[in-house]
Structure 1
Amino acid sequence: MDLEQLHHLYKEPSISGRYITLKDIEPILNRLNKNSELNNIGKSVQDRAIYSYQIGSGKIKIFLWSQMHGNESTTTKALFDFLNFLHSDSDIAKQFLKKFTFLAIPMLNPDGAFLYTRANANDVDLNRDSQNLTQPESKLLRNTFESFQPDYCYNLHDQRTIFGVDTTGVPATLSFLAPAYNEAREINENRLNAINVIASINKELIKYLPDGIGRFDDSFNINCIGDTFQSLGAATILFEAGHFPDDYAREQTRKFVFMSLIVSFQSFCENDIVINRLSEYLNIPQNKVVFYDFIYKNVKINYDGIEKITNFAAQYKEELIDNNVCFNAYISEIGNLEGFFAHHEYDAKGATYSDDESNFPKIGQKANFKLDNSINYVNGLIKN
């Protein structure tokens, strides 16, 4: 099975980039609603519709949800690619529909998606509301979980560009976690089932991302939805879609998420998840916060009349401006930066820093500056 070709065939062409809203996905949902698979299950804080989509007739129940955080849209794109695949004439798709019943909430937080915020319209992180259930979106997710009674939950997220695979200097393009179900982080049957699925995904995806797959931190927090659903007896798998080199639109990462979904369900069909694969899972390197978007090394600065050589880093902020997500670079750290990596790195080789206000960088200012008064950096990048 050529996974990359499969994605090329079923990639949903109407959505791309980072800013994916309810307005973008409703036409796709309506188009895919061929046999009453689509249901309006409720409303968000700002009265936007929240939909579920159910397809398949198999005994194994799979519950998937995306955009719990409104500004995490990569897995939403991949989920629609997967739904397109399920509607194909592929023998594998037909096999999946016989073995599984899929229930997806493609956009749990449509207000956050519109505002391009992590939280919902009440400024609540839905992934910290699984116990108190203070928000309508949290209640809808829990009600759907309880009525569907899934065997497996797929908790689909994005992660920031700051994450790398351990200290290898490779960005964590995909990261997975079988969340803990108790403080002791013990492994029961449900958690082991999730672990086995992740190990199966990793075994195949390392062929495409040989160094780019990480394992997310499993600190227990019962307020997080994955930990809650794991504790309630459903094997839960966290997906974190991260950075692939030069892919800030996350279109390459989208492909890898799609491939991971296909591989995970194929592993069920091949009975590949019944083996205890804990050691394989634990061998997946852990995520670490080791990346900046930009690092500038060996820069000469003049601070209060004293010249010295230093390094500094800049990080993109994703800012919604006129319905477009703009990546604006701001200086975020100054100093040694030992142990950190960058998606873009420059060696100034002792060139002198200057900007419109001073002769040294300041944390929080935009990354617009010059080196030796001749090399111009705008929004973090050299301006040709």
Structure 2
Amino acid sequence: MEVAQVLHMNGGMGESSYASNSLLQRKVLMLTKPIMEVAVTALFSTGATNFPASLAIADLGCSTGPNTLFAVSEIISIMIDLCKATKQEPPEFQVFLNDLPGNDFNTIFSSFLPGFQEKLRGQIKRKDGAWATLPCFFNGVPGSFYGRLFPRESLHLIHSSYSLHWLSQVPRGLEGNKGNIFMARSSPAEVLRAYYEQFQRDFLTFLECRGQELVVGGRMVLTLVGRRSDDPSSKECCYIWELLANALNEMVSEGLIEEEKLDSFNIPMYNPSPKEVQTEVQKQGSFSVDCLELSEVNWSVVDTEFNPNVASKDGGYSMAKSVRAVAEPLLVDHFGEEILDEVFKRYKAQIADGMSKEKAAFVNVNVVILLKKIA
């Protein structure tokens, strides 16, 4: 599997699209707003960037859908309030939206950007009628963030949410992970080690690249799907994939999927602990840690807040659709499209059964880190 060619969220606006099934990600963005305020305020107040006439912001792993412009909207809103409070003219904003080439950039620019720009004009008019316009320039940047994307010292603020747990490749040495599609309680120690070492390599590369692209004093806000436990195969980060593996194994037992095909499929992601994230930051040396926090989002809370009618009918429905919006391109590339509906029918049943027995297992743990470029 060439991850950079295959990995992307489901595009478009249909029933199985990421745009229609990313409520949990929206909730996480809302939870990280206070840290974003700290980052923007620090950038504004320290003068490290000499408050430039143009502020360059990059959202890495932006995906597609209504969430794509949420963080950018918050950053600009915070900056407008700061400028108004200090009676300064706001800068021009240059916004770079990055994701892998397979991302549905067309939907971003055709369906979501026009509404965002209209909302921004209204927001500016309400906050200060003297600002007739606020120049804000958008750019799509296709490419892997496990490599250089921007010129040296060209960015002031970097944001990334729910992207950096994805690895640049499926780790090597997973031959012993039979019957699993990710780290699991039954995975051999060498499989867990292979996943961790791939995360170390990737995250260190990411930090090295961003260290070159950020100005000194620039900030970076990163949110990863992580874990509290020291055990990388704990339920808090692996259970949803164990249930998908169960659904696939059922189909193997019925002859609908070849066993060898299942054994050669593994999800290219890693859920780090806060300690693992901090260790790589300290090892790389370009950043200081301004803030490191954990947060949790329960799937049932997401449904109750955003989609109560569905939540009351079927506890596994929204979660199965959300995972499908994320994992479908990987499954199609490996197994083919014809098995998808049957896989997710069984997966929804697995989730509903699991939720009825142990709701605590359906919690996403988030590692949020605010970094300052120091060298």
Normalised TM-score (structure 1): 0.27
Q: Which structure dedicates a bigger proportion of its chain to strand?
A: 1
TM superposition score normalised by structure 2: 0.28
Indicate the structure whose relative CO is greater, using CA pairs within 8 Å and at least 6 residues apart: 2
Larger Rg: 1
Higher helix share: 2
